[in-house]
């Protein structure tokens, strides 16, 4: 087995279980190769170096962090509640305006119909008043006469 394969095996042994055959291969390689033993030692030291707990953190820091998180959560809850109230209030304000706008639109529509048709009956509102005239226009006998 070449050197790079053995190195791969060595690194793999730090993170995963080796098969019995692989373990045996690595063991015999380590016994015969001082450089490989040194590499293993270096890797183990790097691993230990990384495991050291990061910085000393006092109870005060812990409490400050927890308080900061809980404050933000309370703030978000308050924001959520106020935005719900705001939405309801806005809806309440918008509804009368919406109703007035609709009434105005209806009035304009009726006025438009009255101006064009001259009266405001059911036929005019349904657009049937002009059907009679259309019938005259499309009647060939009427045209001939």
Partner 1 sequence: MSKHLLNYSDDELLTFARQGNDEAFAVIVNRYQQAVLATIRGMLGEVGAVQDIGQDVFIRFYKAIDNFKGDAKLRTYLTRIAINLSLNELQKRKRKSWLTFFRTNDALPEISDRSESWKRKEHQELIDKALLSLEKDLRAVIVLRLVDGFSTKEVAEMLDMPLGTVLSRLSRARTQLQEALIRLGYHH
Residues at the site binding partner 1, with contacts judged by CB under 8 A? 8, 11-12, 14-16, 41-43, 45-47, 49-57, 62-63, 65-66, 68-70, 72-74, 76
Residue 14: CB partners within 8 Å, gap ≥ 6? 43, 44, 47
- For residue 90, the minimal CB distance to partner 1 (Å) is 24
In the bound state with partner 1, the residue whose beta carbon lies nearer, of 76 and 84, is: 76
Could you tell me the smallest distance in angstroms from the CB atom of residue 60 to partner 1?
12
Minimum gap (Å) between residue 69 Cβ and partner 1: 5
By beta-carbon proximity to partner 1, the closer residue of 70 and 109 is 70
Q: What CA–CA distance (Å, rounded) separates 103 from 92?
A: 18
Q: Which is nearer to partner 1, 34 or 53 (CB)?
A: 53
- The secondary structure of the chain in percent helix, strand, coil, rounded to multiples of 5, reads 85, 0, 15
Shortest distance in whole angstroms from residue 5 CB to partner 1: 12
> How many C-beta neighbours within 10 Å does residue 40 have?
18
Interatomic CA distance for residues 79 and 93, integer angstroms = 21
């Amino acid at each position: 087995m070449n050197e790079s394969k053995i190195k791969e095996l060595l690194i793999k042994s730090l993170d995963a279980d080796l098969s019995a055959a692989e373990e045996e291969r690595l063991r015999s390689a380590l016994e015969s190769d001082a450089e490989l033993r040194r590499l293993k030692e270096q890797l183990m030291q790097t691993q230990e170096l990384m495991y050291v707990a990061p910085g000393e953190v006092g109870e005060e820091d812990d409490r400050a962090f927890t308080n900061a998180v809980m404050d933000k959560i309370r703030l978000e809850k308050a924001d959520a509640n106020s935005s719900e109230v705001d939405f309801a209030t806005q809806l309440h304000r918008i509804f009368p305006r919406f109703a007035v706008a609709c009434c105005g639109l209806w009035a304009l529509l009726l006025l438009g119909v009255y101006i064009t048709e001259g009266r405001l009956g059911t036929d005019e509102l349904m657009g049937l008043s002009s059907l009679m005239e259309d019938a005259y226009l499309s009647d060939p006998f009427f045209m001939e006469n």
